[in-house]
């Protein structure tokens, strides 16, 4: 049986086939982490940011709306955060960092908003123009792969796909490049045209965009095809351990570290 893969599953396999086996075939549970929970919170805030009413009619009101959403969403996930048994000061530092990321994002959004206002748009129309399609999921029956896109901007004949990252670095790594290539492939199959640009919004820093060309898409197709040849079996021994510093690191370890090395 050919599995429907995703950028995450492919990159997990490339990191360690045994980790892929435990996560996607045995479906063993993973341990919650501050990075996953905080990432989920920030994504929810940005997804809901554009849902505004007529009372929000200025930059200041938008900024207050953004940080109200952060406080609200953080509170909604607070029970999950408490289960991490993290020192309160450390937890507060992640909240402050999240707020800083959103402030940075809003500063860039504000510049785009001012351009629209300068060109004669009303505040309502300017915000609407800058509002992307959020949380789009595409699945390809042809390539047996799926992807979940954070934001898609469709402006006339131009299309830009962006993914939010709360990473500490702002590099388009080979893992991110693969993810973006798969997004371009999926969008083209669904819509009949390629997006013009795909990229990562590194919330701590800035957006980085790359052009969609044949090389990017063909690289993605090659990786997907290779992945399907390696994951046909359900036999654990066909998914070898790939020992690396990612098995254990300064602040934790792989979810399956004990299972791998105890055995």
Binned average pLDDT, 10 residues per bin, the chain of 263 residues = 93 95 94 93 97 91 97 97 93 97 97 95 94 95 96 93 93 95 97 96 95 97 96 94 83 82 70
**Sign of torsion, CA 60 63 68 71?**
negative
How many CA atoms are closer than 13 Å to the CA of 189, on its beta-carbon side? Answer: 19
Contact criterion met (CB below 8 Å) for 143 and 185? yes
The predicted structure's pLDDT at residue 250: 59
Q: What is the DSSP pairing of strand 145-155 with strand 133-140?
A: antiparallel
Positions of CATH 3.90.1570 in the chain? 7-24+132-236+253-262
Residues paired with 204 in a beta bridge = none
Which pair of structure tokens corresponds to residue 1? 């049986």
CATH of domain 7-24+132-236+253-262: 3.90.1570
The predicted structure's pLDDT at residue 261: 80
The predicted structure's pLDDT at residue 246: 83
């Amino acid at each position: 049986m050919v599995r429907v893969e995703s950028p995450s599953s492919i990159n997990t396999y490339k990191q360690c086939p045994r980790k892929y086996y435990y996560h996607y075939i045995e479906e063993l549970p993973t341990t919650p982490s501050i990075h996953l929970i905080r990432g989920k919170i920030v994504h929810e805030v940005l997804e809901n940011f554009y849902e505004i009413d007529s009372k929000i009619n200025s930059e200041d009101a938008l900024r207050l709306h953004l940080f109200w959403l952060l406080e609200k969403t953080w509170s909604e996930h607070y029970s999950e955060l408490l289960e991490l048994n993290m020192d309160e000061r450390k937890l507060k530092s992640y909240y402050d960092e999240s707020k800083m990321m959103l402030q940075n994002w809003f500063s860039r959004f504000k510049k785009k908003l001012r351009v629209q206002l300068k060109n004669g748009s009303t505040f309502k129309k300017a915000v609407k123009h800058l509002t992307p399609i959020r949380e789009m999921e595409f699945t390809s029956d042809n390539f047996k792969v799926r992807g979940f896109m954070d934001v898609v901007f469709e402006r006339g004949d131009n299309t830009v796909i962006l993914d939010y990252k709360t990473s500490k670095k702002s590099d388009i790594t080979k893992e991110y490049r693969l993810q973006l290539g798969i997004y371009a492939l999926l969008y083209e199959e669904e819509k009949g045209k390629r997006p013009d640009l795909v990229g990562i919004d590194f919330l701590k820093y800035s957006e980085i965009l790359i052009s969609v060309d044949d090389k990017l898409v063909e690289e993605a197709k090659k990786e997907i095809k290779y992945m399907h040849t390696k994951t046909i079996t359900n036999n654990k021994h066909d998914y070898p351990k790939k020992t690396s510093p990612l098995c254990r690191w300064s602040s934790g370890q792989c979810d399956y570290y004990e299972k791998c090395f105890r055995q």
